[in-house]
Amino acid sequence: MNILVLGGDGHLGWPTALYLSRRGRHVGVVDNSARRGYDLEMGVHTLVPIVDLQHRVRRWSEVSGDAIDVFVGDLTDAAFVNGTLASFRPDAVVHFAEQRAAPYSMIDRQHAVYTQVDNVVGTRNLLYAIAEHDRDVHLVKLGTLGEYGTPDIDIEEGYLEITHRGRTDILAYPKQPGSFYHLSKVHDSHNIMFACRIWGIRATDLNQGIVYGHETEETALHPDLATRFDYDSVSGTALDRFCVQAVTGHPLTVYGSGGQTRGVLNILDTPACVELGVLHPADRGEFRVFNRFTGSFSVAQLAEMVAAGHRGPVTIEHSPDPRVEKEEHYYRAAHTELLALGLVPHLLTPTVVRSLLAVCERHKENADVDAILPTVQWRETSSTLATSGGPVRGTVAAAEVG
């Protein structure tokens, strides 16, 4: 099976490529280091050092004996996308390749426009390429639970049965995205659904929760295979930020009341979910949606788990929420489809939190604690955040949900 992983140099794309390669798939990786460029723009860096993509791929070949093909190019370049699919001839395309940070998309107008052009145009080019080259190719797309927002009803997996004035239909679940990034993912979902309907292609949208954890069986085989660990306020998730704050002796900064509740997923389950989607493809013309998470926690609960897991003293502080979101809300989302396909989840436990703290402890000399405090304000139309001149015009932005 030929599997093309778009955004394969990223936090989740890289371990997914290794996971699939180790299980006998012929893997191709598409990227151009745009994600690394965002670090340069923001003046931040991954806590755990990573080597360049070509070095990574060579090391993987030495360690495993398996080769990974590398394609450098831009999804917004239709000729590149068409040429890559024609050359590699994938059976499945795993699409991680988007600007994935909500705060990045909210910095100012330029970053909002960049995010939506990069994400929406790139995905649309991919849909055309699949339709023109081979409509049996299965698209497995990284979506986000953030598309749904926090409605005061249960969240279903992509669709909702509606009865209105005596008539009933099954419609796409209403979307309440919380940033221009999340809006781009909604646009993607609508474009993919439309393409499946008119061209008969097949697609699975994996609406993923917040990913925690750092190592997989494959990335642990050699330091050069490590994936990135983001902890800054633009790209880092709450749990990772709290762990770095704890090991560096700083208070854990909870936005607002801390009642914001989200679905979470262990990094070990990300490639497993992708593989399940690949091995059980959608039907021709079907746009299938799986909610990909294995537990739900509030931000305050995550802070308390880190405080309990750290061996030293830890304080928790509440700061004004830079985002526009409900700080206390109902949250119950369905996530049964992947479990039905055989997913055996790795849950968030005190042991897992302690392992994350251990990673942060080993690399704490790399931490820039000033980068953790929020600098992007949702309520403003511009930001005082200093950049090196705006978004990096990348090719494939190695991406994952944040």
| CATH code of the domain containing 10 | 3.40.50.720
- Within-domain flag for 326: yes
Give backbone dihedrals phi and psi of 149, rounded to 5 degrees, phi first.
75, -150
Point out the catalytic residue in the list 16, 38, 185, 331: 185
Asked, for residue 401, whether it belongs to a domain, the answer is no
Q: Name the token pair of 384.
A: 């005082």
Q: Which of 38, 114, 181, 212 is catalytic?
A: 181
385 lies in a domain? no
Residue 269 falls inside a structural domain: yes
* Mean pLDDT of all residues in 89-113: 98
Cβ(144)–Cβ(208) under 8 Å?
Answer: yes
Q: Is residue 238 part of a domain?
A: yes
Query: Crossing angle for the helix pair 238-247 and 299-309, nearest 10 degrees?
Result: 30
- Whole-number Å distance between alpha carbons of 215 and 135: 35
> Smallest Cα–Cα separation from 28: which of 73, 63, 78?
73
Instruction: Kindly report the backbone phi and psi dihedral angles of residue 311, in degrees, each rounded to the nearest multiple of 5, phi listed first.
Output: -75, -20
Mean pLDDT (whole number) for 318-322: 97
CA angle, residues 81, 87, 92, in degrees to nearest 5: 70
Instruction: Compare 397 and 364 and report the one with higher pLDDT.
Output: 364
State the average pLDDT for the chain. Answer: 95
- Bridge pairing between strands 316-319 and 210-212: unpaired
For residue 391, the model assigns a pLDDT of: 61
Inside any domain, residue 298: yes
- Flag whether pLDDT at 396 surpasses 90: no
- According to the model, what pLDDT value does residue 390 have? 53
Give residue 44's pLDDT.
96
Q: What is the mean pLDDT of residues 206-221?
A: 97
- Quote the tokens at residue 143: 């979506």
182 pLDDT higher than 80:
yes
Catalytic residue flag (residue 185): yes
Which CA distances in Å does 41 have to 36, 104, 111, 192?
Answer: 9, 11, 12, 31
Collapsed DSSP state (helix, strand, coil) of residue 52: coil
Q: Average pLDDT of 368-383?
A: 91
Other C-beta atoms closer than 10 Å to the C-beta of 353 total: 23
Range of the domain at 354: 2-371
Q: Is 84 a catalytic residue?
A: no
- Taking each helix axis as running N to C, give the angle between helix 350-362 and helix 238-247, from 0 to 180 degrees, rounded to the nearest 10: 60
Reported as half-sphere exposure (CB side, CA atoms, 13 A), residue 392 has a value of 21
Residue 364 annotated as catalytic: no
* Three-state secondary-structure class, residue 124: helix
Bridge partners (DSSP) of residue 333 are 155
pLDDT tens digit string along 247-261?
999 999 999 999 999
pLDDT tens per residue, range 261-302: 999 999 999 999 999 999 999 999 999 999 999 999 999 999
Helices (H), 46-121: 53-64, 78-88, 102-105, 109-116
How does residue 131 score in pLDDT terms, banded at 50, 70 and 90? very high
* Rounded Cα–Cα distance for residues 305 and 281 (Å): 37
Distances (CA, A) of 104 to 123, 257, 280, 385: 19, 23, 34, 10
Q: What is the mean pLDDT of residues 133-143?
A: 98
Q: Which residues contact 65 (CB under 8 A, 6 or more apart)?
A: none
| Catalytic pick among 76, 84, 144, 227 | 144
Task: Give phi and psi for 184, each to the nearest 5.
Answer: -65, -35
Cα angle 287-112-368, degrees, rounded to a multiple of 5: 105
Q: Say yes or no to pLDDT of 395 above 90.
A: no
Residue 236 lies in a domain: yes
- For the stretch 13-58, pLDDT in tens is 999 999 999 999 999 999 989 999 999 999 999 999 999 999 999 9
- Give the three-state DSSP class for 375: coil
Does some domain include residue 392? no
Distance CA 248, CA 232 (A): 14
Q: How many domains does the chain divide into?
A: 1
pLDDT at residue 195 tops 90: yes
The predicted pLDDT at position 397 comes to 35
In which band, very low, low, confident or very high, does the pLDDT at 119 lie, cut at 50, 70 and 90?
Answer: very high
148 pLDDT higher than 90: yes
- Confidence (pLDDT) at 214: 95
Residue 90 backbone dihedrals phi, psi, to 5 degrees: -70, 150
| pLDDT at res. 6 | 98
